[in-house]
Structure 1
Amino acid sequence: MSTPAEYYRSLPPVSKTYGVACLMTTTAYYLGLISPGSIYLNYGLVFKHFQVWRVFTNFFFLGPFSFPFAMELFIIEKYGVSLERGPFDKRTADYVWMLIFGAMSLLMMSFVPYLLSPFMGSSVVFMIVYVWSREFPNARISIYGLVSLKGFYLPYAMLAFNLLLGNPLKPDILGMVAGHLYYFLTVLHPLAGGKFMLKTPLWVHRIVAYWGEGTQINAPVQSNPYAGIAFQGRSHRLNGNTRRTSTPEQPQTNTAQQPIQGDGVAFRGRSHRLDGR
């Protein structure tokens, strides 16, 4: 059995980063470092007082420590990791783009006053559930050990349980809409003969490459070779040579016609015979 540290290191990067960010946000709330009023989505404060951070921070607060909070972290750990290791294996940038597209879709829907939610992290989590259900429609799952069903029906079963528990359904429904929109544009529409219209942008590839985590098949940019290195610099030889190349050796030339090039020599010049010739 692996230790918690080994288990943490084994998680794929995107799901791990998002889950840890949500956990740290709730921890900061309990420590009194932040308040929900300072990070929730409010377009009036965004546009009038330039509190742009609210557009991003509202996706990282899943509520206080509670059973629903633990279940949403469990969903990220189980279904998000399953997506990242399955359909999105070696497609880190594509998975990041799926989450970004879902967040942008939710922001667009929130311009409708009735659809506005102060915190939309739960909607992103439910979007993960919906996309997983479409990618693994025949997988057998068990909900709380009470009901066994196919993966395709998981979002609808979770909606029914939330209804019985008295939890609000609007965040879940918005997450389903965002997830279906992504799945339609990337899978259903191309399979029906339509054009693939949701290609991962180049700037997302560049962010993932600079991040240096995960892999992307046929990435248009190279990953950052220095990601995670605390100090970067160029080595120098003590004899004054500032750059060392690995070019193949050149054939020897006539030293009588070409002066010898040396590094670290205090004086370099042309020799003369003492008899003046």
Structure 2
Amino acid sequence: MPVGIEAWIAEIPPVTRAWLALSVTISIVVQCQFVTSLQLYFSFRSAFLNLQPWRAVTTFLYFGPMSRDFLFHLFFTVRYSRILEESSFANKQADYLWLLLQSAVLLLVVSPLFSLPYLSHPLAFVPIYVWARQHPSTQVSVFGLATVTAPYFPFALVLFSWITNGTWRADLAGCIVGHVVWFLKDVWSREAFGGIGWYTNAPAPMRRWFGQAEA
């Protein structure tokens, strides 16, 4: 592997780096046919009634087979997850992981409403949505085709996916969950508790694991 790639990976903050590593590993494992994609999707029956709980985790890590579409989605995931972890969650990696875990639980709950067996793309939309709402005046280019203010960017991506692939449910589910966690973290907690709430701060053991200062 070129030194440049190694340096780039080393610069990625820990939560985003782990997300990238696990996603690439799982796609390679599927590509090498050690497991099949059918062993990774989520359904309540398979995960909990058939005692296959790993599905509640792998559904967030499988972005599809190694392909151009896989690289495209992984690029967007790493880009905006890294931006969010390095800005709003600088030195608060435990809180960022806590936000992703809360988002994952919400996506598991709403997945039957959207008929979504794989939840990697919706979860990837959460950092995009949260970042966009935190930077309401930032101008963002949508693939060089148009420029929109950041809060409209996630919905522009939903529209783009619908036009190009005919898919929109996964991205829209990510926007909905992203809005919920953003509202709880940045709006309701500030108005109700002065910016601190039990749902926005990671549990103490998780903070200690990351070496994060107590809230």
Q: TM-score, normalised by structure 1?
A: 0.71
Counting only pairs closer than 5 Å after superposition, residues 145-156 of structure 1 correspond to structure 2 as 145-156=144-155
Distance 1:13 1:188, change over 3 A: same
Identical aligned residues as a percent:
24
Greater Rg by CA: 1
Tell whether the 8 Å contact from 1:186 to 1:197 is kept in structure 2 after alignment: no
The corresponding residue for 2:62 is 61
The corresponding residue for 2:183 is 184
Aligned Cα root-mean-square deviation (Å): 1.8
Counting only pairs closer than 5 Å after superposition, residues 140-179 of structure 1 correspond to structure 2 as 140-179=139-178
* Aligned AA (1:194): A
C-alpha distance in structure 1 between counterparts of 2:207 and 2:198, whole Å: 21
Counting only pairs closer than 5 Å after superposition, residues 1-277 of structure 1 correspond to structure 2 as 3-110=4-111, 113-191=112-190, 193-195=191-193, 196=197, 198-202=199-203, 205-207=204-206, 209-210=208-209, 212=210, 216=212, 218-219=213-214
C-alpha distance in structure 2 between counterparts of 1:162 and 1:100, whole Å: 25
Q: Which has the higher contact order (CA 8 A, sep 6+)?
A: 2
> Deviation at 1:143?
2.0
* Aligned AA (2:41): Y
Tell whether the 8 Å contact from 1:122 to 1:171 is kept in structure 2 after alignment: yes
Give unmatched runs, 5+ long, in structure 2: none
* Aligned AA (2:192): G
Listed one character per residue, the Cα deviations across residues 12-63 of structure 1 (whole Å, up to 9, x for unaligned) are 0011110111111111111111101111112212233211111111111011
The worse-fitting range, judged by mean Cα deviation, of 90-99 and 39-48 is: 39-48
Write 1 or 2 for the structure with the bigger share of helix: 2
* Aligned AA (2:161): N
SS in 2 for 1:95: helix
- Number of aligned residue pairs: 210
C-alpha distance in structure 1 between counterparts of 2:54 and 2:184, whole Å: 29
> Deviation at 1:73?
1.1
SS in 2 for 1:130: helix
C-alpha distance in structure 1 between counterparts of 2:132 and 2:87, whole Å: 13
C-alpha distance in structure 1 between counterparts of 2:31 and 2:200, whole Å: 40
Give unmatched runs, 5+ long, in structure 1: 221-277
Q: TM-score, normalised by structure 2?
A: 0.90
Listed one character per residue, the Cα deviations across residues 106-161 of structure 1 (whole Å, up to 9, x for unaligned) are 11113xx4323111010000111111101122222222222222222110110111
C-alpha distance in structure 1 between counterparts of 2:156 and 2:60, whole Å: 24
Distance 1:114 1:186, change over 3 A: closer
